[in-house]
Amino acid sequence: MVTEYVLRKLEEILGAANVYASPAQVKAYECDGYVAFKSLPGAVVFPESTEDVSRILKLLSEERVPYVARGAGTGLTGGATPTRGDVVISLAKMDRLLSLDLDNHRAVVQPGFVNLELTKRVSGRSFYYAPDPSSQSVCTIGGNFAENAGGSHCLKYGVTTNHVTAATVVLPDGEIVELGSSFGDADGLDLLGLFVGSEGTLGIATEITVKILKKPQAVQTIMALFDRVEDASASVSGFIAEGIIPAACEMMDQLAMQAVDKSRYHVGYPSDVEAVLIVEVDGLEASVRALSQRVMDVCLKNGVREVRSAKSEEERALWWSSRKMAFPAIGRISPDYMVQDGVIPRSRLADVLKRIESISQTSGLRIANVFHAGDGNLHPLICYDSKKGETEIAQDVGRQILELCVDVGGSITGEHGVGIEKIVEMQYQFTQEELALQQAIRDQLDPKGLCNAGKLIPTPSRCMEMKGVAHPTVSSMEQILSASASVQTHIAR
């Protein structure tokens, strides 16, 4: 509960202008990019420094008030959604680039600093920041840190954890700690690695040191249109078998192409191809030319209908926009959509896509597919209409797809995290013992269970609840969340 006392204290720390408490002010914060679950925050606060965050967490810890950190609110699994009247700690005003060390390829940013903004700030000197989630024009590096965000180019360059070298983190009791080291591996246990991707459940990062890279000398982007998904999949396996590591290797199916072609980012895809591959190779001028030829050869060997490389920077940018805007463009063909984020072994692509198609047919919901084909990271976009009461069917379809991913040897998340959305599937992925171990680590750092509680790891009580419910509906989700809240309060005592 956010009491009057807590509000007054928060205002003392941050000033009244940085504390929103009335329902009218906080309503827009009841969900992030995942809209299937909503719940009103107790307050929304805007710290501007590490010290602010530390003072807030000390207060909330003492008063046993739950809280959740939020960046741009573009997350797709409800990671920044309050679940029990939490205080939403918006980091949107902590958006400064603190320092830049071009000689040593390092930048230090506050968590609310926007991903693409970093590339913009250093591109004049031929540098860039490699992790590039589709939402990079708006998502924050703090959010990327929490979710261990990936992106189109993580096939070659790795995900966020490969680019964060150090961080200042405020622990749930308000203590400020430095994790990692700007250069070289930190000694001892890799605690920084533990924090990256912990979905804001272990503390709040307030200063993040990341690597910035020198832009490759040359880039070539290739578009390949396939009559059959199987041929596109075979080409992806073909690149890897040939020893080519593309900088990016993305696939979209016909429904996704249709949606994005209806948007501003119109490419004009043929309406009778089943799949398009967008492949990028980069490196030295000479090698790029040879590599792109090899990529095209592999496509030709696998029955591509048409393959060519971008003729201009403008065309290349359009192709990439078409891929990156594909998720929200689904709004053009469906009132609501839910995006899934499963990972499978690359060799199983064609097979898994067929099975997703049959799930789609059984459920009656259309599913568009957009994914990082190179690393087997699927993003099935489940189209539904919440007004027709299809939300629960969509959630069930999502669950079936994730279980399928686990069944073929993959996992339930590549880059979007677990949040609220996939918390039940965590039990499909992990045994009780494994989950208990994760919970034990979390309890060490957040013994009172206040820090983005109810996310990522299902509590034991939830596991039992789950056995009685095939899948959490929104209303059962509410019961479960409140049940786990009481358990956690109990543990805390």
Q: What is the DSSP letter of 151?
A: -
Minimum CB separation of residue 427 from another protein in Å reads: 28
Q: Which is nearer to another protein, 274 or 385 (CB)?
A: 385
Closest residue by Cα to residue 372 from 212, 227, 210, 246: 246
Measured CA angle at 236 (ends 354, 301), to 5 deg: 100
Minimum CB separation of residue 449 from another protein in Å reads: 26
Q: Which is nearer to another protein, 32 or 199 (CB)?
A: 32
Q: What is the DSSP letter of 125?
A: G
Q: Which is nearer to another protein, 335 or 345 (CB)?
A: 335
In 318-453, the DSSP E strands lie at 336-339, 342-343, 367-372, 377-378, 380-384
Q: Which is nearer to another protein, 225 or 383 (CB)?
A: 383
Minimum CB separation of residue 194 from another protein in Å reads: 28
- Rounded CA separation 177/183 (Å): 17
Collapse the DSSP code of 270 into the 3-class scheme (helix H, G, I; strand E, B; otherwise coil) and give the result. coil
Strand partners, 144: none
Q: Which is nearer to another protein, 50 or 90 (CB)?
A: 90
Measured CA angle at 27 (ends 23, 24), to 5 deg: 40
Minimum CB separation of residue 329 from another protein in Å reads: 4
Q: Which is nearer to another protein, 35 or 100 (CB)?
A: 35
Q: Which residues does 383 contact at the CB level (< 8 Å), separation at least 6?
A: 330, 333, 334, 336, 337, 365, 366, 367, 368
Minimum CB separation of residue 436 from another protein in Å reads: 35
Q: Which is nearer to another protein, 307 or 325 (CB)?
A: 325
Question: Which residue matches tokens 């605690």?
Answer: 191
Closest residue by Cα to residue 210 from 117, 106, 137: 106
Question: Could you list the residues that contact another protein (CB under 8 A)?
Answer: 22-25, 27-29, 31-33, 35, 46, 72-74, 90, 92-93, 95, 112, 114, 135, 137-138, 260, 262-265, 325-332, 335-337, 387, 389
Q: Which is nearer to another protein, 193 or 328 (CB)?
A: 328
Minimum CB separation of residue 74 from another protein in Å reads: 4
Q: Which is nearer to another protein, 132 or 230 (CB)?
A: 132
Cβ pair 98, 481 in contact under 8 A: no
Minimum CB separation of residue 58 from another protein in Å reads: 23
- Dihedral angle, C-alpha 238, 241, 244, 248, nearest 10 °: 60
Cβ pair 124, 143 in contact under 8 A: no
DSSP tally for the chain: helices H, then strands E: 18, 20
